[in-house]
């Protein structure tokens, strides 16, 4: 059964963060808050954990389009091909924030992503997840937790999330109520930025 760990966004407790980092380093799955909806993720370097997420989501690994949560833009050069100044300016303007940017993937992508031409990058405006990524030293795979409810697409209450997911994951972080609107997804690999999904982030940043 999963651990249920309370962490405050204003001032994440390092002891609790370290507890979650240890779980991630051991290949565990974690549910965490972002600046949009709650996400499910694992350490980007743990292939078996990524496969577990794909299994939970009911998708094949080669069809999985998981995004990476980074702490800041310094991680980009590890996983993304060189980008032009205009693209970088958009990222700088928008992040941290409720956006997922599709960028050209580099040759250094972890084993599970070797055949991917593009990669989705998230830097949420949420201290909990960014402190977690920083302490881990690697990006975290992220995928939204969908709800089977016809009215609500996403569960926002961490206690209800725990109730539903406690036997599927290793940690559920209670970071307070989440949002029920996903991130705005923008493809920056095309000549002109393409909006793939309009979510919480304003498209005025383009």
Give this prediction's pTM: 0.94
Domain boundaries of the chain, sorted by first residue: 3-205
CA torsion sign for 73, 78, 79, 80 is: positive
Whether the link from the prior residue into 96 is cis, omega within 30° of 0, is: yes
Higher pLDDT, 111 or 98: 98
If DSSP states are collapsed to H, E and C, what string results for 30-65?
A: EEECCCCCCEEECECCCHHHHHHHHHHHCCCHHHCC
pLDDT per residue over 133-142, tens digit each?
999 999 999 9
Tokens linked to 173: 């972080």
pLDDT per residue over 34-58, tens digit each?
999 999 999 999 999 999 999 998 8
Share of the chain above pLDDT 90, in %: 77
Residue 150: band (very low, low, confident or very high) from pLDDT cuts 50, 70, 90:
low
- May I ask the CATH architecture of the domain 3-205? Alpha-Beta Complex (3.90)
Helix (H, G, I), strand (E, B) or coil at 7: coil
pLDDT at 197 over 70: yes
Q: How many CA atoms are closer than 13 Å to the CA of 197, on its beta-carbon side?
A: 13
* Angstrom distance (rounded) from CA 41 to CA 144: 9
Please state whether beta strands 140-144 and 39-41 pair in parallel, antiparallel, or not at all (unpaired).
antiparallel
pLDDT at 124 over 60: yes
CB atoms near residue 2 (< 10 Å): 19
pLDDT per residue over 58-84, tens digit each?
888 888 889 999 999 987 888 999 899
């Amino acid at each position: 059964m999963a651990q249920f760990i309370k962490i405050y966004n204003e001032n994440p407790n390092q002891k609790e963060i370290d507890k979650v980092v240890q779980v991630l380093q051991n290949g565990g799955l974690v549910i965490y808050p972002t600046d949009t909806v709650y996400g499910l993720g694992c350490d980007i370097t743990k292939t078996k954990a990524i496969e577990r997420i794909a299994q939970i989501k009911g998708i094949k690994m080669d069809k999985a389009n998981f995004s990476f949560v980074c702490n800041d833009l310094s991680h980009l050069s590890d996983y993304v091909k060189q980008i032009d100044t205009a693209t970088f300016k958009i990222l700088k303007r928008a992040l941290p924030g409720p956006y997922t940017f599709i960028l050209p993937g580099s040759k250094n992508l972890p084993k599970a992503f070797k055949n991917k031409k593009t990669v989705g990058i998230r830097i949420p405006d949420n201290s909990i997840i960014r402190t977690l990524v920083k302490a881990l030293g690697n990006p975290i795979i992220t995928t939204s937790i969908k709800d089977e409810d016809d009215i609500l697409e996403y569960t926002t209450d961490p206690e209800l999330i725990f109730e539903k997911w406690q036997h599927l994951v290793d940690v559920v972080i209670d970071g307070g109520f989440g949002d029920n609107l996903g991130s705005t997804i923008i493809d920056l690999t095309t000549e002109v930025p393409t909006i793939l999904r309009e979510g919480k982030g304003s498209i005025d940043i383009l």
